């Protein structure tokens, strides 16, 4: 199981996320299997910026985690992502959340994503995509959400259908 998290808070947020998913799916070595709904969330870290739309997708690929990261970074760049401030506003953000059961901790990549178990805006759409599969210390997204006990900053925005990636 490979899961990616997507977020956008600049421009047309929904279109940015759809374009990113489409571009990933069009890559010759990536197939998008499932797409969550979009959720609107308050920013984390730097609070003085527009709200985000967030989604989680599952993909299949034979790319290494590092090669997949490069594809994600290239896709962000193609969609106008400018990295000038940590946690700052962005047209698109694509994070590798989980890459099978791999654990990687280096200066380039951290898997699983080090904060996925703390973020409702990741766990709620993730639950839609994988249901009750364990993702962190044997716990499912639902169990992790119960531990966090506050998902009030995450609001359902819109259901995404897989058809848009086929066109």
Q: What are the extents of the domains in the chain? A: 2-165
33, 95, 142, 153: the catalytic one is 95
| Domain 2-165 fold | Alpha-Beta Plaits (3.30.70)
- 51 token code pair: 């709200």
DSSP type of residue 46? S
- pLDDT average per 10 residues of sequence, the chain (167 residues): 96 96 96 96 81 96 98 94 73 96 94 92 96 92 90 89 71
Pseudo-torsion of CA 113, 116, 117, 121, nearest 10°? 180
Q: What are the φ and ψ backbone dihedral angles of 158, each rounded to 5 degrees?
A: -170, 145
83, 84, 86, 90: the catalytic one is 90
């Amino acid at each position: 199981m490979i899961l990616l998290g997507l977020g956008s808070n600049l421009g047309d947020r929904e279109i940015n996320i759809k374009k990113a998913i489409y571009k990933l799916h069009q890559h010759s070595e990536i197939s998008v299997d499932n797409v969550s709904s979009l959720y609107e969330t308050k920013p984390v870290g730097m609070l003085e910026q527009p709200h985000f739309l967030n989604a989680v997708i599952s993909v299949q690929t034979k790319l290494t985690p590092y090669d997949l990261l490069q594809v994600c970074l290239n896709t962000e760049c193609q969609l106008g992502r400018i990295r000038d401030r940590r946690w700052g506003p962005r047209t698109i953000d694509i994070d590798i959340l989980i890459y099978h059961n791999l654990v990687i901790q280096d200066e380039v990549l951290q898997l699983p994503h080090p904060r996925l178990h703390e973020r409702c805006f990741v766990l709620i759409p993730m639950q839609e995509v994988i249901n009750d599969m364990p993702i962190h210390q044997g716990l499912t997204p639902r169990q992790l959400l119960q531990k966090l006990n506050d998902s009030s900053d995450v609001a359902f925005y819109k259901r995404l259908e897989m058809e848009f990636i086929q066109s």
